[in-house]
Structure 1
Amino acid sequence: MKNMLLAASAIFAITALAGSASATDFAGGTISYNVGVTSDYVFRGVSQSSTESNLPAIQGGVDYSHGLFYVGAWASNVKWDYSKGTKDLEVDVYGGVKPTYKDFNFDFGLYTYNYGTKELDFSEVKAAVSHPLFKGTIGAAFYDNVTWAESGYYEVNGSYPLTDKLSLSGAVGESALLGSKYSTANLGVTYAISPALSLDVRASDTNVPEAKVYSPYNRPYKPRVAVTLKASF
């Protein structure tokens, strides 16, 4: 009940913020913000906000861009069956460049994922590219884990507008953790309620049997459906 009340309060705040705030200019660049609430925080096919049953997560971030360069930070509550110093909070800090060449958009960056314990904190180098395809886009992304050996993630992704406000998007990828690999996929639709507010419904799954758990998170693999309300301003 406490989690549901917190999520309801977050939805009210997000809706209010979406209608009253906008990106701001700062030091020659632009500062933008995002805040959201999701029924299940799914990362690469695995829930980060629940163990057996879905729990909502409240998320938010701030980004600064200046020409090709960007830096930012993002946070979410998490819920793991893991007791070695975690604070039920994930804080990501990142930065990089986004050059373009003809119709190709690139993204090269460094991402750090922080959970309150050195045993779980890690960093990744990101390389991504996207390209227009008909009315939509197609792209690929590769994340090389520079903290743990034989770890990382890559995916092929795409999006396509169905109407002026409704779009379809998805991705298929493979994740590796210390040499142990699994495949994952997601597919969802996003509805633009307003220029600043969107609602996303997304299904995800992996090729790992449900009975198996994902170390070190100690949570079962199984199909997920997440509903996310997000405001960007």
Structure 2
Amino acid sequence: MKKLTLLATALAMVTGSAFAADMPLKAVKAPPAPAFDPWDIAFGGAIMNDYIFRGVTQSNHKPSVAAYFEPRYNVTKDLQLYVGLSGESISFANRAAAEIDVYGGIRPTFGAFALDIGVWGYLYPGGNCADNVPGGGGSCPVSANTIFLANGNVMKKDVSFFEVYGKGTYTINDNWVIGLNEYYSPNFLNSGAWGDYASITAKYTAPSTIFGSSGVGMYVSGEFGRQWLGTSDSFYAVPAFPNGIKYADYNTWNIGVGFTYKVFTLDLRYSDTDLNKGNCNAFTSAFNGSGSNNVTAINPTGVGSNWCGAAGIAKLSFDLTAMTNLK
């Protein structure tokens, strides 16, 4: 009898377990997926001790401030359209004190490969005549579009221009990113000469634990590029080249280290080119070019400029997006 009781108990347990396993489970409702908001806005600003553009100072090796505003529309998570407006303080020979950039493009992403294709306009309002025109008192005796400098250099009043560009980056892993850039202008700095710039970039981002739990990040990055330039119009002609000068092509490079904390970045960088002082003077029309020993085929006056030489750059910037930082 005792054995029968134990057998019945065991059968009941097995049967109960099997029955429980066959019972339909009540489905748990998944939380709703977050709504996809295609619109976003990026904006930020910076202060730097020198504004360097492709190895050439735009601020006479003096401090510069910058700001930008960029609305974005995400068609999908892998396709973004954007337009932007930015500005930097500069110091040009034609007395222009600001660079205003208007740009727009498309950013498609294919896994680890990302593209950025667009058009960039560089505007330089405020270009004017020199204060030191001999006997001129700020007037332009030859052309209202001309600036004459005491060192013999000349510059157009309006040097605005545009470029089309294509950039690509490949993310190798969480630490390494490499890139290729290409920019082309049919009329670089409104000089009459075409311009083509190509570069390769690399960036190493250190593991997030390198500074413990402080929230500070670090990266090392560099770029090597080459600027090709065509022949100017006759405005920049010299006696040996009455129809215009063939600007010197040049290489430029930079390398630096950056530190990030929340929305802030401190970037410390070294920049240089292989342009000599004479060809740099012909290219930039520097208002503070001096000397007479820097004679080249396109710079017969011998005036030299240090605007294309080695420079150290310290830049503090902040960058935010509305969807990430302002929620």
* TM-score normalized by the length of structure 2: 0.58
Letter in 2 for 1:205: D
1:11-52 CA distances to partner (integer Å, 9 max, x unpaired)?
A: xxxxxxxxxxxxxxxx941112111100000000011111xx
Task: Determine if the alignment matches structure 1 residue 70 to structure 2 residue 82.
Answer: yes
Question: Given the alignment, which residue of 16, 20, 43 partners 2:53?
Answer: 43
Match of 1:184 in 2: 252
Structure 2 gap segments, 5+ residues each = 1-36, 75-79, 128-156, 209-216, 232-247, 287-304, 321-327
Partner Cα separation in structure 2 for residue 136 and residue 39 of structure 1: 28
Higher alpha-carbon deviation: 148-157 or 205-214:
205-214
How many residue pairs match? The answer is 200
Q: Name the SS for the 2:59 alignment partner.
A: coil
3-state SS of paired residue (2:166): strand
Q: Name whichever of 120-129 and 154-163 sits farther off.
A: 154-163
What do the CA deviations read for 1:56-84 (whole angstroms, capped 9, x no partner)?
Answer: 0011010111011011011011012x13x
Q: 1:106 aligns with which of 111, 115, 126?
A: 115
Change (3 A) 1:191 1:113: same
SS at match of 1:93: strand
What is the match of residue 79 of structure 1? 91
Aligned to 2:183: 143
Query: Hey, which bits of structure 1, 4+ residues long, moved more than 4 A?
Result: none
Query: What amino acid does structure 1 have at the position aligned with 2:271?
Result: S
Q: Which deviations, in whole Å up to 9, do the C-alpha atoms of 1:165-218 show, x marking residues without a partner?
A: 1100010000123353100000011100x2201100000100122454242342
Q: Which one has a larger percent strand, Structure 1 or Structure 2?
A: 1
Report the secondary structure of 1:213's partner residue.
Answer: helix
| TM-score computed with the length of structure 1 as normaliser | 0.80
What's 1:3 paired with?
A: none
Alignment partners' CA distance in 2, 1:143 and 1:37:
25
Aligned AA for 2:103? Y
* Alpha-carbon distance between aligned partners in 1 of 2:284 and 2:256, rounded to the nearest angstrom: 27
Alpha carbons 2:124, 2:158 under 8 Å: kept: no
What is the CA-CA distance between 1:89 and the residue it aligns to?
0.5
Contact 1:125-1:146 at 8 Å conserved across structures: no
| Higher helix fraction (1 or 2) | 2
By relative contact order (CA 8 Å, sep 6+), the higher-ranking structure is 1
Native 8 Å contact 1:171 1:186 kept in 2: yes
Gaps of 5+ in 1: 1-26
